[in-house]
Amino acid sequence: MKLKAYFHRGYAAQIGKHIMPIRKFGLVAEALSTAADIEMIEPDPVSDEDLLRVHTVRYIHAVSNGEPRELAEMQKFPWTDTLYPSVLLTNGGCLAAARTALGEGVSAALVSGFHHACADHGEGFCTFNGLVITADALIDGGEAKRVAVLDMDLHYGNGTAQLAVSRPHLFALSIYGNDYWNNVAYRDVSFRHHLDGANHRSYSLPASCNGSTMISIMDEALPALRDFRPDLVLYQAGADPYYEDPYSPLDLDHDDLLARDRHVFSFAKSNGIPIAWVLAGGYTEDTSKVVRVHTNTFKAWREVFR
């Protein structure tokens, strides 16, 4: 069976020249277009009902209408009327991949999970939290009982953790190398700005962390996720831990991130947990290196699941 991967040209809102390379989703899709074992599918947008389970009416209105502008732009994108439809499609890609993974074991969406987005505002290039929107939609529809997020973007997943507090059906695990907090793009992990809870845990990767240290920290962290007995794992396979990324203090190259993805897929496979992955962040100036991290995740999928 081919791997179903969800992509839509409408994912990319018009944000002008920006450190977030929004065209990378299209570039990854293009790089995968000749792969005979991958089927690209256009997702449907999420519904108002899907958004309202997670986000406040005031915030949803701000993103759809651009008013108040300060709230509509808190995620640090200039607001245009392309923003709202693009985010509905992006969140829809995450939800579609999750549903496919529940049925077929594994799937992907060429989107960000938007882990910094909170209930009443966006942060850090994240508008609506697609990970939690997906989890809540699956729970509400009776498609899953428990959903886990394994967040290996460089940045701490603060939005997902805050949303997890009131959601016992959700387990959020963030393994991060940059203690993102409150729209500040870089904070050293030696000071922790957040508290963990029963269903939201975090593990920091120290500055200059290499591949073997990363794998040992993953091995320390993953049993808690397994013990939650999720029906599905949503995996944020971020490209920003890469050593050349402007936000990354880590020493992880392409091989290390490929090993990370292989390790995650082997964990999911050996525990029989369906997995859907998303691309998450990546800001290395040479975008081809960001694309390579993401296409390598597909390589890891082949190695583990084919």
Specify the residue, 114 or 228, whose C-beta has the smaller distance to Zn ion: 114
Q: Which strand (E) or helix (H) includes residue 70?
A: helix 69-72
CB of 198 to Zn ion, least distance (A): 25
Considering only 99, 121, 281, 297, the residue that binds Zn ion (CB under 5 A) is 281
Lookup result for tokens 């082997």:
266
Tokens 């960001």, located at residue:
290
Q: 301 in helix, strand or coil? A: helix
Q: Select 84 or 283, whichever has its Cβ closest to Zn ion.
A: 283
Residue of closest CB approach to Zn ion: 281
Q: Residue 21 CB, nearest distance to Zn ion (Å)? A: 12
- Spell out, one character per residue from 234 to 253, where the chain touches Zn ion: x when CB under 5 A holds, - when not: ------x-------------
Distance of closest approach, residue 221 Cβ to Zn ion, in angstroms = 18
Going by C-alpha positions, the residue among 267, 281, 170, 183 that lies closest to residue 226 is 267
Q: Residue 155 or 169: which CB sits closer to Zn ion?
A: 155
Comparing CB distances to Zn ion, the nearer of 157 and 274 is: 157
Backbone angles phi and psi of 265, in degrees to 5: -65, -40
Mapping DSSP to helix (H, G, I), strand (E, B) and coil, where does residue 203 land?
Answer: strand
Q: What are φ and ψ of residue 103, in 5° steps?
A: -85, -35
Angle formed at CA 247 by CA 72 and CA 13, multiple of 5 degrees:
35
Q: Which residue, 155 or 200, is less far from Zn ion as judged by CB?
A: 155
Which H, E and C letters describe 20-59, residue by residue? CCCCHHHHHHHHHCCCCCEEEECCCCCCHHHHHCCCCHHH
Nearer to Zn ion, 136 or 240 (CB): 240
Q: How many residues bind Zn ion (CB under 5 A)?
A: 5
Tokens representing 294? Answer: 């993401």
Determine contact, residues 243/281, Cβ cutoff 8 Å: no
Looking only at residues 141 through 170 of this chain, which bind Zn ion when binding is defined by CB under 5 A?
153-155
Which spans of this chain sit near Zn ion (rule: CB under 5 A)? 153-155, 240, 281
